[in-house]
Amino acid sequence: MENKKFLTILKIGGNIIDNPTELKQFLSDFSKIDGYKVLVHGGGKSATKMAQSIGLVPQMIEGRRITDAAMLEVVVMIYAGQINKDIVAQLQAYNTNAVGFSGADGNLMLSSKRNHPTIDYGFVGDVQKVNTTLLGTLINSGIVPVFCAITHDGKGQLLNTNADTIASELAIALSEFFDVTLNYCFEKPGVLFDAADDNSVITSINQELYATLKADGAIHSGMIPKLDNCFNSLQKGVQKIKIGHHRMLNDTKALYTTITL
């Protein structure tokens, strides 16, 4: 049986995106990663800032954004437009042949509108299917896909979709064809025992420890969907997952958190 090719999937968060110096360094590091790779980006802080500037009041529940029609217009503009194209342009400057995508492009990622028993999330999507045939062809041809946090329902409706979830679902789907490593890069050096202390990195976290820290309130907000997605990915074929600052990409001494079952 032929060995699977190695694929690195990275997701970057808002604090890196909002800092031009950090973003430039990250994209430089990303461009130097050998082998096949995919980048997924959020941009929630930029979307929140834009929403507030036009009088909208952002609402979040456990790190997930409530998205009414007005907020959807904002996130599509910021995620699929400004941020996505800025990242693609910068990667081209590093000789990385990136192409920006939403889930609607090429029908690469199909979602359904979230149906929650008690919370109306609005135009929020839960991923149902990844078009691995087209995506695999793009990756194998040397294209570096750059995904924003927008998918679609196949009926003409765009949907805001958690970027951590997109990275996880891509990793799961592509693990059938590639040996996948999933990295979540953000401004902290990993998952922390104390969110105010960057030296309190949890170097390895399993489901039991996660449940304890979540119950104690040590892990909260946006870290909850991130870790939920990590454990789901490991259970469905992803080989390795790390969470940390982007310096972990090229600094062998950098701390980070490894996710294990």
Q: Known binder of ligand: residue 65?
A: yes
User: Quick one: tokens of 18?
Assistant: 């909002």
CB atoms within 10 A of CB 133: 10
What is the Cα–Cα distance from 84 to 39, expressed in whole angstroms?
Answer: 10
| Contact status, residue 248 vs residue 182, Cβ threshold 8 Å | no
What is the Cα–Cα distance from 259 to 207, expressed in whole angstroms?
Answer: 9
What's the maximum distance between 2 C-alpha atoms anywhere in the chain?
58
Give the containing element (helix H, strand E) for 51: helix 44-53
Q: 163-174 and 223-235 helices cross at what angle (nearest 10)?
A: 10
Q: Known binder of ligand: residue 100?
A: no
Q: Known binder of ligand: residue 131?
A: no
Q: Report DSSP state, residue 142.
A: T
Q: Known binder of ligand: residue 64?
A: no
Map residue 187 onto helix, strand or coil.
coil
Question: Which residues are annotated binding-site positions?
Answer: 43-44, 65, 160
As annotated, the binding site for substrate includes: 43-44, 65, 160
